[in-house]
Amino acid sequence: DVKVTQSSRYLVKRTGEKVFLECVQDMDHENMFWYRQDPGLGLRLIYFSYDVKMKEKGDIPEGYSVSREKKERFSLILESASTNQTSMYLCASSPDVTSYEQYFGPGTRLTVT
């Protein structure tokens, strides 16, 4: 079974802090994605990566950056956390650009106070 893990299920940070959310997949997938999920807005793509050290902006990249130094790990960075970044963050991976199925991690519920 594909396994996508995220570093924390729940996280509480203060405004202005730098926040790192880690995602690891164990199936040698090429593509990895970061989404945030908010009530009434669904899942919105923040960034995705189709290869090591490669990244593409999604719909809402502002206030976020990403890092992919190794194939299995994709990190989301909030440079200076703000209260409007309080959300559920979901990481996903898929085998390659031709694949249609994404495998999601359990999510990190981030609260910024």
Partner 1 sequence: GQNIDQPTEMTATEGAIVQINCTYQTSGFNGLFWYQQHAGEAPTFLSYNVLDGLEEKGRFSSFLSRSKGYSYLLLKELQMKDSASYLCAVSDNFNKFYFGSGTKLNVKP
Distance between CA 81 and CA 78 in Å, rounded?
Answer: 6
Nearest approach, Cβ of residue 104 and partner 1 (Å): 4
Nearest approach, Cβ of residue 59 and partner 1 (Å): 8
Q: Does 31 bind partner 1 (CB under 8 A)?
A: yes
List, as one string, the DSSP characters of 38-91.
ETTTEEEEEEEESSTT--EE-S--TTEEEEEEETTEEEEEESS--GGG-EEEEE
Q: Does 47 bind partner 1 (CB under 8 A)?
A: no
Nearest approach, Cβ of residue 32 and partner 1 (Å): 12
What is the amino acid identity at position 64?
Answer: Y
* Interface ranges with partner 1 (CB under 8 A): 4, 31, 33, 35, 40-45, 48, 50, 56, 58-59, 90, 97, 100-107
